Amino acid sequence: MSKLPNTGTSIFAVMTAIAAECKAINLSQGFPNFNPPAKLIDLVYHYMKSGENQYAPMTGTYQVRKAISEKIKKYSHAEYDINDEITLTAGGTQALFTAITAFVGKGDEVILFEPAYDSYLPSVILNGGIPVPVQLKGNDFHIDWDEVNDKISEKTKMIIINSPHNPSGSVLNEKDISALKYIAKKHDIIILSDEVYEHIIFDGREHHSVTKYPELAAKSIVVYSFGKTYHTTGWKMGYVLSPKNLMSEFRKVHQFNVFTVNTPVQLAFAEMMKDEKHFLSLSNFYQEKRDYFLKIIKNSEFTFEPSSGTYFQLLNYSAISDESDSDFSVRLAKEFGVAVIPLTPFYSLPNDRKLIRICFAKTNDVLEQAAEKLMKVK
């Protein structure tokens, strides 16, 4: 008997397979088509050659935990204990699953915002929890906090937030943080904050990490991704911050889930983090790509609101077709040679938005080739 009877293969795997079959330009799965900094690769090689190839501590190497602690202190003015409040993980998705497994049990309700990253809902279900979806509103995909408050019950155990948001590219603002503070003060609810795109935020906006607000940080498990920051999604390396009382429960699951993660890569990231120029330049780097891509498709039949963060952009195709987003995405790959992601798989509730998601973390030549093909879609 299946624990996930309504779950099939991930839409990312499906569309990537269709892209390969059709030899389409793959703007579907969210990864760059360019290498990480050469210095980072050299550092990994250095630590491999120097013999750092055995198990790291379950929590992560001291060096990388120290680097993370110093970074969060500098940029969030928050103190996270190196030994008790930082854990290295095998990417963001493992961190999310482990956090949900550690705290969500049978009958516990978890509020999540749709469209939602596709691992949230099945992770809740696998642990016997009850997903309570709240749809983001409007073209800017904002949260209706009145609806959130209405859906909180005595069974609510966790609320999952994601900013910058995948797939919409929306970003939480100060009003959102105020509303979240109200909920944190009034209710005993754990906040799972997915902040893997923390450094990719546009147009002068601020990333409102929960770590910056003590009343939120005290109730939050915060998830980060080295893969998004350093163009290394295939290395599957992330980390989690939380107060000691939450981290101790997280680690109980983590130790039997993956136990520990890649030693030489951790050490390389610890050294790489000393060079702040890379992560501080990411917003401008990706904003230039966003702006360039939107400029070269501005005369297409697609309409759009520029993404506020992440390296994803939503395109509205309602002026082109009445097809479902899934059918339109398949046809786009097969007939026009561009693979994208439909938005429907990010929802559990019905919706009729005619939207597709593209990844613009690509070199300009790939963006130009994709734009040329998208301009032909009528």
Alpha carbon of residue 377 to chain centroid? 29
Peptide bond into 115 cis (omega under 30): yes
Do 70 and 193 lie in one domain? The reply is yes
pLDDT in tens, 74-107: 999 999 999 999 999 999 999 999 999 999 999 9
Residue 6 lies in a domain: no
Residue 273 lies in a domain: yes
Do 88 and 207 lie in one domain? The reply is yes
Do 226 and 298 lie in one domain? The reply is no
Q: What is the pLDDT of residue 20?
A: 87
Q: What is the pLDDT of residue 343?
A: 95
Do 248 and 291 lie in one domain? The reply is no
Residue 218 lies in a domain: yes
Find the CATH number of the domain harbouring 267: 3.40.640.10
Residue 42 lies in a domain: yes
Do 221 and 295 lie in one domain? The reply is no
Select from 244, 278, 312 the last residue of a domain: 278
Find the CATH number of the domain harbouring 299: 3.90.1150.10
Q: Identify the residue whose tokens are 């624990």.
A: 3
Return the SS3 of 331: helix
* Integer Cα distance of 123 and 246 in angstroms: 18
Find the domain containing 16 and state its range: 11-30+281-374
Q: What is the pLDDT of residue 18?
A: 87
Question: Residue 314 in contact with residue 337, Cβ under 8 Å?
Answer: no
Q: Is residue 351 scored above 90 in pLDDT? A: no
Do 195 and 308 lie in one domain? The reply is no
pLDDT in tens, 44-65: 999 999 999 999 999 999 999 9
Residue 171 lies in a domain: yes
Q: What is the pLDDT of residue 303?
A: 97
Q: What is the pLDDT of residue 259?
A: 96
Task: Please state the domain count of the chain.
Answer: 2
pLDDT in tens, 217-255: 999 999 999 999 999 999 999 999 999 999 999 999 999
* Integer Cα distance of 260 and 99 in angstroms: 15
User: What is the residue type of 270?
Assistant: A
Q: Is residue 368 scored above 90 in pLDDT? A: yes
pLDDT in tens, 102-139: 999 999 999 999 999 999 999 999 999 999 999 999 99
What totals of helices (H) and strands (E) does the chain contain, helices first? 15, 12
Q: What is the mean pLDDT of the chain?
A: 96
Percentage above 90 pLDDT, the chain: 92
Residue 59 lies in a domain: yes
Do 78 and 177 lie in one domain? The reply is yes
